[in-house]
Amino acid sequence: MGAVLWILLLCLWAATGVQGEDPYLFFEWNITYGTAAPLGVPQQVILINGQFPGPNINSTTNNNIVINMFNNLDEPFLITWSGIQHRKNSWQDGVAGTNCPIAPGTNYTYHFQVKDQIGSYIYYPALGMQRGAGGFGGLRVNSRLLIPVPYADPADDYTVILNDWWTKSHSTLKKILDSGRSIGRPAGVLINGKVAKGDGKDEPLFTMEPGKTYKYRICNTGLKTSLNFRIQGHKMLLVEMEGSHTVQNSYESLDVHVSQCYAVLVTADQTPKDYYMVASTRFQRKEMTTTGIIRYTNGKGPASPELPPAPVGWAWSLNQFRTFRWNLTASAARPNPQGSYHYGAINITRTIKLANSASKVNGKLRYAINGVSHVDTPTPLKLAEYFQIPDKVFKYNVIGDEPSSSNQEVIRQPIVLNMTFRTFIEIIFENHETAIQSWHLDGYSFFAVAIEAGTWTPEKRKNYNLLDAVSRHTIQVFPKSWAAILLTFDNAGMWNIRSEIWERHYLGQQLYASVISPARSLRDEYNIPDYALLCGDVVNLPKPPPYTI
Ligand SMILES: *[C@@H]1O[C@H](CO)[C@@H](O)[C@H](O)[C@H]1NC(C)=O
Ligand SMILES: *[C@@H]1O[C@H](CO)[C@@H](O)[C@H](O)[C@H]1NC(C)=O
Ligand SMILES: *[C@@H]1O[C@H](CO)[C@@H](O)[C@H](O)[C@H]1NC(C)=O
Ligand SMILES: *[C@@H]1O[C@H](CO)[C@@H](O)[C@H](O)[C@H]1NC(C)=O
Ligand SMILES: *[C@@H]1O[C@H](CO)[C@@H](O)[C@H](O)[C@H]1NC(C)=O
Ligand SMILES: *[C@@H]1O[C@H](CO)[C@@H](O)[C@H](O)[C@H]1NC(C)=O
């Protein structure tokens, strides 16, 4: 084959962001409004192909996923794939800093490949407060037959979507935030979009055959509330979280903070009857509890009304975090094949401290990081950078690596931090507030090496778990506490680091990490796809020279 043709083929491959030889999964998603009454009050929800929550994506390592999404809402829409790493491909991340929104009445096709990140993920709407109306669901990445997972095949594989819920529409929630106030507490909690009535007539959410073992993937797609999950009379054997196989400990209950996912095995080894699965709000003065039914196939009799209690206080949750360990001998693929496996031996080249704060700017509630509250730009940051007009759209590094003094006035600007390609970086999330935080990083998984109460100092590094911390993409930070993560910034692109507490996210507690490969090589990053939507200042601009091999 001639060199030119070869280069052309490579460009074609790189332009689509999908690899030819691997299997494809095609989906058509129709995004519409609908009516549902999960708490008994009919209200507007966002449906995907008529479903609330949205459909599960069931994929296998290396599958190419192609989703043609039709936006039939009356406002712009984007979905983001939380925890899917999109290697070299922030073009498909689906957040305001990387993608132009899908205009109402139009469609856009996401193309991405799921790599060796066997595990449990979620997707959800990225814009405004749409996430509070639905449009979310589960995404599984199964292991190829070649890669054994460290447990026997379960009899079935169930997805449990937990979320806090408001009876106000997403537009009303947005209006409340735009007017400068908090959305306050939820009206209730849902399990797979429902609440069991407990009147003996509830349909089961899941069934189990006696003696068999099932996998449950438990994820929190809510707006702000940490939820404790448990199953009456049954223990849960933790096997995976956010793409990493864990040491298999048994738990009575799990705290699932916003946007986290856990996979557990549950054996149907109790008296055959119905059992409640229970989700309760945490860290909220008035606890709210919701149930759903699990039925034994040969079951006789209703679930006992006596629900196992939720734990109290956040120290319990911190202790639970400390029991999570990566299974170093599990033979499944490593989430971070780029050499950060012995992450404890790598020298840290930069420490970035990100401190969240709440304050009023011109009388309105804003959330900030190191004194700056992020604002989205009409031109996505990634497009501004790619088309080489960043100066027209944003300034790099408007925050420093150290939090500003707390009496400094908060300003509102897009936040983009430059990360030097392939450097090993330590990020400390400092929470001086009394509200729990949940932080997430797109495009990567990181080693969650510590969460502690108090204030971080360099001496705290001796408390890090430098051996078997779980590699994941979301980490909670308790009140007046800090969390430390380590990672290699080896995935070129523009990546969102955000609060998953969605009102904080909407009101500015997020930023972007710009990771540029100086080589401008297709080995490091794909070119912008031909079909990418353009908006803002890059419409009609000539495309810059494409990346080459
Ligand atoms: C999406 O659903 C709406 C409402 O049911 C329907 O009118 C429309 O034709 C559907 N669009 C597609 C592309 O399926
Ligand atoms: C998910 O995909 C796997 C692998 O192709 C398959 O074995 C399994 O039956 C699928 N599960 C569902 C619920 O479709
Ligand atoms: C929109 O959908 C049509 C019909 O399925 C498809 O041919 C087209 O490629 C889609 N457009 C985009 C931008 O994905
Ligand atoms: C780790 O995974 C291996 C299989 O790869 C399994 O045999 C072992 O039990 C797991 N270890 C723990 C502590 O869960
Ligand atoms: C890390 O830094 C130490 C001290 O500066 C140095 O001796 C060591 O070689 C470095 N290790 C690696 C893996 O670069
Ligand atoms: C950040 O990246 C931009 C674009 O590559 C570059 O112009 C700028 O010098 C970088 N700034 C820092 C502080 O690295």
68-114 tens-digit pLDDT: 999 999 999 999 999 999 999 999 999 999 999 999 999 999 999 99
**End residue of a domain, out of 93, 109, 142:** 142
Residue 152 maps to a domain? no
Nearest protein Cα to ligand 6, atom 2: 418
Indicate whether 300 and 378 sit together in one domain.
Answer: no
Indicate whether 497 and 462 sit together in one domain.
Answer: yes
CATH of the domain at 17: 2.60.40.420
Range of the domain at 409: 338-538
**Which run of H or of E encompasses 172?**
helix 170-178
Indicate whether 199 and 104 sit together in one domain.
Answer: no
pLDDT band at 8 (very low <50, low <70, confident <90, very high): very low
Indicate whether 309 and 344 sit together in one domain.
Answer: no
Kindly list the distances between the CA atom of residue 194 and the CA atoms of 202, 514, 535, in Å, as whole numbers in the listed order. Answer: 10, 40, 38
Report the alpha-carbon distance of residue 89 to residue 111 in Å, rounded.
Answer: 10
Of residues 21 and 309, more confidently modeled:
309
Residue 98 maps to a domain? yes
Indicate whether 88 and 185 sit together in one domain.
Answer: no
Question: What does the pLDDT read at residue 341?
Answer: 65
Residue 524 maps to a domain? yes
> Is the per-residue pLDDT at 4 higher than 70?
no
* Stretch 29-58: mean pLDDT: 98
CA of 54 relative to ligand 3 center, distance in Å: 21
pLDDT tens digits, one per residue of 169-196: 999 999 999 999 999 999 999 999 999 9
Q: 54-63, 159-168, 332-341: which has the minimum mean pLDDT?
A: 332-341
Residue 137 maps to a domain? yes
Ligand number with the minimum distance to the CA of 345:
5
> Is the per-residue pLDDT at 300 higher than 90?
no
**End residue of a domain, out of 279, 296, 321:** 321
Indicate whether 270 and 342 sit together in one domain.
Answer: no
* Stretch 203-226: mean pLDDT: 98
CA of 337 relative to ligand 5 center, distance in Å: 21
> Is the per-residue pLDDT at 31 higher than 80?
yes
Q: 145-154, 354-363, 380-389: which has the minimum mean pLDDT?
A: 145-154
> Is the per-residue pLDDT at 3 higher than 80?
no
Residue 330 maps to a domain? no
- For ligand 1, what atom is nearest to the CA of residue 70? 13
> Is the per-residue pLDDT at 19 higher than 90?
no
Report the alpha-carbon distance of residue 522 to residue 325 in Å, rounded.
Answer: 35
CA of 55 relative to ligand 1 center, distance in Å: 16
Report the alpha-carbon distance of residue 142 to residue 145 in Å, rounded.
Answer: 9
Residue 231 maps to a domain? yes
pLDDT band at 11 (very low <50, low <70, confident <90, very high): very low
List the alpha helices (DSSP H) in 28-113.
Answer: none
> Is the per-residue pLDDT at 149 higher than 80?
yes
Indicate whether 488 and 346 sit together in one domain.
Answer: yes
Indicate whether 30 and 120 sit together in one domain.
Answer: yes
Indicate whether 295 and 390 sit together in one domain.
Answer: no
Question: What does the pLDDT read at residue 316?
Answer: 98
Indicate whether 451 and 357 sit together in one domain.
Answer: yes
CA of 343 relative to ligand 5 center, distance in Å: 13
CA of 302 relative to ligand 6 center, distance in Å: 63
Domain count, the chain: 3
107 lines ligand 1 (CB under 6 A): no
pLDDT tens digits, one per residue of 447-501: 999 999 999 999 999 999 999 999 999 999 999 999 999 999 999 999 999 999 9
Question: What does the pLDDT read at residue 17?
Answer: 53
Using alpha carbons, select from 231, 237, 235 the residue that is nearest to residue 264: 237
Nearest protein Cα to ligand 4, atom 13: 247
Using alpha carbons, select from 65, 34, 64 the residue that is nearest to residue 49: 34
Kindly list the distances between the CA atom of residue 347 and the CA atoms of 357, 426, 457, 462, in Å, as whole numbers in the listed order. Answer: 30, 10, 17, 14
- For ligand 6, what atom is nearest to the CA of residue 420? 14
Q: Which residue has the tokens 């011109």?
A: 362
- Percent above pLDDT 70 for the chain: 94
Question: What does the pLDDT read at residue 339?
Answer: 44
Indicate whether 434 and 399 sit together in one domain.
Answer: yes
Question: What does the pLDDT read at residue 18?
Answer: 57
Nearest protein Cα to ligand 1, atom 1: 30
- Percent above pLDDT 90 for the chain: 89
With contact defined as beta carbons under 8 Å apart, do 240 and 472 qualify?
no
Average pLDDT in the chain:
94
pLDDT band at 405 (very low <50, low <70, confident <90, very high): confident
Question: What does the pLDDT read at residue 331?
Answer: 58
Indicate whether 399 and 428 sit together in one domain.
Answer: yes
CA of 86 relative to ligand 1 center, distance in Å: 29
Q: What are the two backbone dihedrals, phi and then psi, of residue 189, each rounded to the nearest 5 degrees?
A: -130, 140
The pair of structure tokens assigned to 510 is 């997020």
Residue 148 maps to a domain? no
**End residue of a domain, out of 110, 142, 174:** 142
Question: What does the pLDDT read at residue 147?
Answer: 77
Q: Among 66, 68, 92, 530, which is best to mutate for testing ligand 3, by the most ligand atoms less than 8 A from CB?
A: 68
Residue 192 maps to a domain? yes
